[in-house]
């Protein structure tokens, strides 16, 4: 939770700083009447940011701000998950080799210490299996499976919120578009004439919210798929390591087999 809050604050500060810089650039441009070659280069550099800000304002701060909040919160959850999953990645081959060497000497406690000193869910699962080596192979397998489900739940923590923001962002955009179209028709009713300028302007403003909502959803979807693939890789390693641990324990007569 503290990591998530810190990431959210960092993203918010970055957003505020960028917006402030763009606002300063715009105010500087309105007070300057002369241009030069250097100024033209700066204007070209900031053109994309200025256009993005103009579209954001034209789309209406209400719905556009909601979409932006969804994007910031979703990215905060994504970054937190990516950091956590990278820390949870373990060199399983090296870990199993060290455990095998310890069990060959009959030192179960040393094998436990190796698991405890290794970071990641795979080492935690293997530790739970080693703890029950005196209870038989069934107890070891049951402990590994049960604790594996717990670790998998921890790995998937926060994914439901990312999915929520992926769904909400375009929905907010569509809602802004519908409301914008209603406002456009209200203007047509006020004017009493379907003028191209009134219709085009209203439709443009309405569609901007949909564009920003889709962009936010696409960005979060890419991160979501990466996180899911990362979790699948860790889970596969966990399952392979669990099977290998049981085989190692049986080979070294550390666990009792069923008659």
**237 occurs within a structural domain:** yes
**131 occurs within a structural domain:** yes
DSSP code of 109? H
Annotate 209-225 with three-state secondary structure: HHHHHHHHHHHHHHHHH
pLDDT digits (tens, 9 = 90+) for 38-54: 444 444 445 555 665 66
- Distance CA(109)–CA(118), nearest Å, equals 14
**80 occurs within a structural domain:** yes
User: What is the value of pTM for the model shown?
Assistant: 0.74
Give the pLDDT of residue 57. Answer: 62
Q: How many residues does the chain have?
A: 259
Q: Count the domains in the chain.
A: 1
Give the pLDDT of residue 20. Answer: 45
Residue 220 near residue 111 (C-beta atoms within 8 A): no
Give the pLDDT of residue 207. Answer: 78
Give the pLDDT of residue 151. Answer: 87
**216 occurs within a structural domain:** yes
Give the pLDDT of residue 144. Answer: 87
**250 occurs within a structural domain:** yes
Q: What residue numbers bound the domain in which 257 lies?
A: 59-259
**219 occurs within a structural domain:** yes
Alpha helices in 118-193 (DSSP H): 121-131, 137-155, 159-191
**21 occurs within a structural domain:** no
Give the pLDDT of residue 219. Answer: 93
Give the pLDDT of residue 34. Answer: 40
Could you tell me the mean pLDDT of each successive run of 10 residues in the chain, 259 residues long?
Answer: 52 52 45 42 52 61 79 90 87 87 84 87 88 82 87 88 91 80 75 67 74 90 94 89 86 68
**39 occurs within a structural domain:** no
pLDDT digits (tens, 9 = 90+) for 127-162: 888 888 887 888 888 888 888 888 888 888 889 999
């Amino acid at each position: 939770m503290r990591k998530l809050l810190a990431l959210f604050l960092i993203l918010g500060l970055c957003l505020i700083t960028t917006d402030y810089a763009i606002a300063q650039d715009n105010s500087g441009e309105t007070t300057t009447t002369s241009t030069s070659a250097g100024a033209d280069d700066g204007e070209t550099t900031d053109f994309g940011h200025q256009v993005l800000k103009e579209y954001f304002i034209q789309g209406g701060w209400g719905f556009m701000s909601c979409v932006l909040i969804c994007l910031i919160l979703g990215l905060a959850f994504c970054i937190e998950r990516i950091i956590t999953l990278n820390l949870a990645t373990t060199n399983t081959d090296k870990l199993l080799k060290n455990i095998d060497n310890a069990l060959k000497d009959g030192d179960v406690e040393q094998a436990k210490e190796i698991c405890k000193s290794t970071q990641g869910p795979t080492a935690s699962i293997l530790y739970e299996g080693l703890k029950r080596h005196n209870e038989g192979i069934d107890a070891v397998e049951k402990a590994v499976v049960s604790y594996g489900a717990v670790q998998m739940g921890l790995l998937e923590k926060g994914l439901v919120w990312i999915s929520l923001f992926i769904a909400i962002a375009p929905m907010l955009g569509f809602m802004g578009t519908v409301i914008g179209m209603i406002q456009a028709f209200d203007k047509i009713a006020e004017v009493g004439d379907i003028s191209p300028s009134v219709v085009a302007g209203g439709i443009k403003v309405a569609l901007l919210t949909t564009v920003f909502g889709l962009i936010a959803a696409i960005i979060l979807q890419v991160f979501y798929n990466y996180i899911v693939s990362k979790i699948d890789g860790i889970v596969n390693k966990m399952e392979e390591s669990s099977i290998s641990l049981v085989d190692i324990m049986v080979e070294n007569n550390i666990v009792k087999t069923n008659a």
